[in-house]
Structure 1
Amino acid sequence: MRIFFSFLLLVAVTFVSQAQSKLSIRGTVKDTTNLPLDYTSVLLLSPTDSALVAYTLTNKEGEYQFKNVDRQPLLIKATYMGYIPFQKELNLPESDEMEVEDIYLTPILQELYEVVVKAAKAPLMMRGDTLEYDASKFKVPPGATLEDLLRRLPGIQIDVDGNIVAQGQQVQKVTVDGRRFFGGNTKMATQNLNAESISKLQLFDDKSEQSKLTGVEDGVKEKTLNVELKEEAKKGGFGKISAAGGTDGRWTANASFNKFDKVNQFSIIGYG
């Protein structure tokens, strides 16, 4: 009986420990005039290597919330275009709920903006209505594709059919430096563009093609992902080649070559 009781006690302690290993963190971001800042990027980072743990955006009241966060040392960072980024280490409570003190962001002088951005560059931030990811902050293995990179971005998933799902909506259009890639074939873009050639990824709601042609707003928005290439990728070409063999003389191979500049967009993709 004593052994059975001890076992139940151990199970109970283990359950409580696991339950307390998750945190719910909430707070509010404001400017120096005490007005809430909506669509502020709020990030939880690892203090050791600044690896991204979780990400969210504030609502219209400037409020943010993280749920089911693993209990570990954490930095909180808030970034908003035109304001000095804020960052501090969190002192985690013993409970599973944490209310962070209000975060106040200070407007930055225009002439100092670029200096501050370069010194405290965040892996992602809001620029107006556009969510922008810095591709260099998300590590992928050599030879990785755009699809491999997208799988590492918070807020973006690749479904079983290879479609891009962002913020709960399917991405309908992929552009490269603002121009459609393969007529808007999203899978062709994600599976054949090299991750190492990408500088930034921008996610936004674009006008419909009909609205652009007529100049009349029809209320239809297309979830769009724009891929911004590195300068060296624009100057030359880039591509990949892979092959695999099996039994009975079976083999498969595929190759792609892409060249983009300010005037032309050229891609060759082959399978065998």
Structure 2
Amino acid sequence: MKKTLPILIGLFCFTGIATAQAPIGSIKGKIIDTVARQPLSEATVAILRKKDSSLVTYTLSNKLGQFEIKYLDTGDYRVFVSFQGYQTFKKAFAIIPNKRSIDFGDIRMAKEYKLLGEVVVSDDAPIKIKNDTIEFKSQAFRTKPNAMVEDLLKKVPGMQVDKDGAVKAQGEQVQKIYVDGKEFFGTDPKLATKNLTADMVESVQVFDDMSDQAKFTKIDDGSRQKAINIKLKKEKRKGYFGRILAGVGSDDRYEFNGSLNHFNGDQQLSVLANANDINKQGFSF
């Protein structure tokens, strides 16, 4: 009995600590049209940290326009609600120990009207969903200086990048990666993710791509494969960009790889080089 008591006390203490550190916050609400008062289904609800505008999580409203996001840590946030054809709703909120659950009630979305000759204001919503395409703004994800596109993809919800650089989106293997809608230097997705820097990217689009056969025959065979389109920032679509990495080790071991990319509007030119004596494959086509 004397030996059992300290163990039980330790277990209770450990459980108490784990419970205290677990995310405790949640938000909910209902998204409706301002005029018609009808619910808006599949509106995008995104949560960003207030301090650095980094994306925490997102969800879609259900058929009744309702949404709920759970397991938020204590802290200051901003919620963005977006729906095609409507103005983006933005509101700051905080999760604190004595106010863990927040109910926004009815969130009334106003339609976006554009007059002839009106200046178009850029949409700052971090996520857009249109048909089968999900678009993530790169500014919602913080990466280190000199980070590559694969480092950016690791931070995007629903994406995984393994140690070899293979990419999965929503549980499916990504077969192709496009740059501004064009195949980047062959069919190997890693050529884009490992040779383009994250600071070049404006947004990442995830979509279901038609098969090559369907594109060639222009007959939809119903076959789909997960693909990614990398939209470059406007100022990065013209000029030369590249990087060089080199390393040496014992026993005269060495590794070198480099890339030089030239973009000029619709023109894309890339030169890749790789050399090593450690039996490491650089890339494939």
How far did 1:24 drift?
A: 3.9
Q: Quickly say closer, same or farther: Cα 1:71–1:236, change in 2 above 3 A.
A: same
Task: Give the match's secondary structure for 1:188.
Answer: helix
Which residues in structure 2 correspond to 1:28-107 (within 5 Å)?
28-32=30-34, 33-90=36-93, 92=95, 94=98, 98-107=102-111
- Quote the sequence identity (%): 37
* Equivalent residues of 2:75, 2:94 under 8 A apart: no
Q: Quickly say closer, same or farther: Cα 1:195–1:90, change in 2 above 3 A.
A: closer
User: Counterparts of 2:263 and 2:175 in 1: how far apart (Å)?
Assistant: 21
> By percentage of residues, which structure has more helix?
1
For 1:162-188, what per-residue CA distance to the aligned partner results, in whole angstroms no more than 9, with x for missing partners? 222222222221111111113321112
Q: Which runs of 5+ in 1 are unaligned?
A: none
How far did 1:240 drift?
A: 0.7
Q: Quickly say closer, same or farther: Cα 1:59–1:184, change in 2 above 3 A.
A: farther
Moved more, 59-68 or 79-88: 59-68
User: Counterparts of 1:137 and 1:14 in 2: how far apart (Å)?
Assistant: 31
User: Counterparts of 2:184 and 2:53 in 1: how far apart (Å)?
Assistant: 33
Structure 2 residue aligned with 1:243: 246
User: Counterparts of 2:9 and 2:142 in 1: how far apart (Å)?
Assistant: 46
Moved more, 252-261 or 85-94: 85-94
For 1:209-254, what per-residue CA distance to the aligned partner results, in whole angstroms no more than 9, with x for missing partners? 2222222221112222111223333322211101122233332111
Structure 2 residue aligned with 1:157: 160
1:107 maps to a residue whose letter is K
Structure 2 residue aligned with 1:222: 225
For 1:63-102, what per-residue CA distance to the aligned partner results, in whole angstroms no more than 9, with x for missing partners? 3332322232332221223211112233647486554423
Task: Give the match's secondary structure for 1:17.
Answer: helix
Q: Give the TM-score, by structure 1 length.
A: 0.83
User: Counterparts of 1:50 and 1:63 in 2: how far apart (Å)?
Assistant: 24
2:191 pairs with 1:188: yes
2:139 maps to a residue whose letter is S
Number of residue-to-residue matches in the alignment? 267
Q: Quickly say closer, same or farther: Cα 1:15–1:122, change in 2 above 3 A.
A: same
User: Counterparts of 2:235 and 2:53 in 1: how far apart (Å)?
Assistant: 27
Q: Quickly say closer, same or farther: Cα 1:17–1:206, change in 2 above 3 A.
A: same
Q: Which runs of 5+ in 2 are unaligned?
A: 276-285
Task: Give the match's secondary structure for 1:242.
Answer: strand
* Equivalent residues of 2:32, 2:109 under 8 A apart: yes
Moved more, 172-181 or 246-255: 246-255
Q: Give the TM-score, by structure 2 length.
A: 0.80
* Equivalent residues of 1:143, 1:240 under 8 A apart: no
Q: Quickly say closer, same or farther: Cα 1:206–1:269, change in 2 above 3 A.
A: same
